[in-house]
Structure 1
Amino acid sequence: MAALRRGLGAALVAVRVRVRVRVREGSWNAVNATLISPDAYSESAPSPSSVTYAVANPVLIDNSVDSATTEIKIAPTLLQPRVVVYDGVCHLCHSGVKWVIEADKDKKIKFCCLQSRAADPYLRISGLQREHVLRRFLFVEGPGSYHQGSAAVLRVLSYLPQPYSVLSALMIFPAPLRDAVYDYVAKRRYEWFGKDDDCLVLKEKELLDRFIDREELMQRTCSHRES
């Protein structure tokens, strides 16, 4: 019996050591984790409301091995490319989105209302706040590639079929000149065209299949009805 107890004790110590080594290795290997990697984009990715989160490369906030409250930041692994994040309550912006949807027969461009939580990961990877996008809408073209203002307009046009894509050649004009025109209209858009209380796309639900935040918008509508 004494020999059996000694054997069990030795095995338990070995398991504890092995677990501690694995935890330390996990914390060391997690140092280089980033918000998003170039291969994180997917053509068929789900909307951020149903985005998959992985713990393959976690960042351990508390490196204490014996801590029972270790927090883990988890980075989104799937974000969609060519997403327009725009002011969803602006009538002018909504009209522009409708025009792009009608022209974009190949459905290359997707949309997201700035007022949705689904816009958060796209704002984070672009290093922008919501007030920045209220001034100039955001086009997230891909990993490490995003545009605002007149540049965003022209990059969106470049994905449309001809003759619309030809308009992207206006990029040859200096950015300060292009953005001056954009900003002049953007600052007066509510006064000239009006605004709504919620994302205008909810009034034209046939457009929702092009929106990555459609599930969130529909849930919000249901909540309003119930209340």
Structure 2
Amino acid sequence: MTRWSPQPAPDEPDGLILFDGVCVFCSRWVRWVITHDRERRFRFLPIQSEAGRALAVRYGIDPEAPQTNAVVLGGRIFFKSDAALTVLGALPKTRALKALKATPRLLRDPLYDLIAKNRYAVFGRTDACVVPSPEDRERFLA
């Protein structure tokens, strides 16, 4: 088991996505999930919030330099490519992508790491976290 292997998280809210709120790429990912999550299953927590920082620290993510997003689903917390594929696998239009989890993380996570390492340089960074629309505000926990 590696540092970023899925872990039990029975006390965390189901459907919670922890994300880097100042990362433009990450904020676009959140908007994409909101658009495709017709059941409104997922909720969002920026790592820059007090609750986001606490969750990050609890699971070994450095809140000052996050190397991963995370998602809680089914009482487990997933990181890196597992997190993205878990979310995609839970949404109707992208459910088939869940099959990519059969590929070993050893092969998937280097691509994830490359994007994560360069996300600010390629996609940009904002000074503030994403501001949700009024109809989606309750889906953001901070």
User: CA-atom RMSD, angstroms?
Assistant: 2.0
Matched, 1:194 2:127: no
Are 2:61 and 2:68, in contact at CA under 8 Å, matched by a contact in 1?
no
The higher radius of gyration belongs to 1
Report the counterpart of residue 49 of structure 2 in structure 1: 116
Aligned residues: 133
Are 1:136 and 1:148, in contact at CA under 8 Å, matched by a contact in 2?
yes
Deviations 1:56-94 (A, max 9, x none): xxxxxxxxxxxxxxxxxxxxxxx4212111100011111
Report the counterpart of residue 88 of structure 2 in structure 1: 157
Rounded Cα–Cα distance in structure 2 between residues aligned with 1:90 and 1:123: 16
In the TM superposition, what are the counterparts of 1:9-28 in structure 2 within 5 Å?
Answer: none
Matched, 1:205 2:137: no
Alpha-carbon offset, residue 125 of structure 1 = 4.4
Deviations 1:120-150 (A, max 9, x none): 4433543443246x1111112254x111100
Matched, 1:168 2:98: yes
Are 1:87 and 1:114, in contact at CA under 8 Å, matched by a contact in 2?
yes
Structure 1 letter corresponding to 2:16: V
Structure 2 gaps, min length 5: 1-8
Aligned residues with identical type, % of pairs: 35
Report the counterpart of residue 177 of structure 1 in structure 2: 107
Rounded Cα–Cα distance in structure 2 between residues aligned with 1:142 and 1:212: 19
Of 25, 33, 37, the match for 1:104: 37
Rounded Cα–Cα distance in structure 1 between residues aligned with 2:106 and 2:119: 20
Secondary structure of 1:100 counterpart: helix
Comparing both chains, which one has the higher relative contact order based on Cα–Cα distances under 8 Å and sequence gaps of 6 or more? 2
Structure 2 letter corresponding to 1:210: R
TM-score by length of 1: 0.54
Secondary structure of 2:13 counterpart: coil
Change (3 A) 1:171 1:165: same
In the TM superposition, what are the counterparts of 1:57-96 in structure 2 within 5 Å?
Answer: 79-96=12-29
Rounded Cα–Cα distance in structure 2 between residues aligned with 1:108 and 1:93: 18
Alpha-carbon offset, residue 157 of structure 1 = 1.2
Structure 2 letter corresponding to 1:89: V
Higher helix residue share = 1
